[in-house]
């Protein structure tokens, strides 16, 4: 193992390590290749939209936003899921095309690296010996974007300007 680490370092690659229970475990190197782009429609500027298992529900249209410091579950999705127990999300009642937004803290807890270009979040396995991919749904991302664009077309210039009698 040490030889492999030295070899990667000599090639100028970053060698990943993560700590659990005060022990240092070697982690799989996370890379993205041009070959992996074959499954992606290029060129694009799509965000990463994934599906997640939240409690007993399969939740689609989940935006991965590493710039966000919190995880958001939108009210409509929360109601449809029928969750009565406490969830580790900020519940927001807002009109949107997403069901949830997973922030940067979540990607760190998952020990993941996001590549919007490759439409995937690659995570370390619990033992660090291999990686797990959470693939994005590029068509859903485009559809969510177009829906948000339509939502934003609503004319708000007259809101609050009710005619007086």
User: Which residue, 96, 90, 47, is CA-closest to 72?
Assistant: 90
What pLDDT band is residue 67 in, cutting at 50, 70 and 90?
very high
Structure tokens at 152: 């934003």
Residue 129: per-residue pLDDT? 87
Paired residues of 17 in beta bridges: 26
Is the pLDDT at 55 greater than 90? The verdict is no
Peptide bond into 43 cis (omega under 30): yes
Q: Which residue has the tokens 């859903």?
A: 140
Q: Which CATH code fits 31-152? A: 2.40.70.10
- Give pLDDT tens digits for 131-150: 999 999 999 999 999 999 88
Name which of 109, 116, 69, 77 is nearest 93 in CA terms.
77
pLDDT at 26 over 50: yes
pTM beyond 0.85: no
Q: Which residue has the higher pLDDT, 23 or 65?
A: 65
Domain assignments of the chain as residue spans, ordered by start: 31-152
């Amino acid at each position: 193992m040490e030889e492999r680490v030295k070899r990667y370092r000599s090639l100028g690659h970053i060698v990943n390590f993560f700590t659990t229970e005060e022990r240092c475990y070697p982690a799989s190197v996370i890379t993205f290749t041009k070959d992996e782009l074959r499954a992606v429609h290029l060129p694009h500027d799509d965000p990463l939209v994934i599906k997640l298992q939240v409690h007993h529900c399969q939740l689609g249209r989940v935006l991965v936003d590493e710039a966000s410091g919190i995880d958001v579950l939108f009210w409509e999705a929360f109601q449809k899921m029928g969750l009565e127990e406490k969830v580790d999300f900020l519940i927001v009642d807002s009109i949107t095309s997403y069901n949830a937004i997973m922030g940067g803290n979540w990607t760190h807890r998952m020990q993941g690296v996001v590549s919007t270009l490759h439409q995937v979040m690659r995570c370390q396995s619990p033992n660090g010996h291999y990686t797990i991919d959470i693939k994005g749904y590029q068509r859903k991302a485009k559809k969510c974007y177009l829906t948000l664009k339509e939502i934003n077309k609503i004319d708000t210039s007259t809101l609050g300007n009710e005619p007086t009698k």
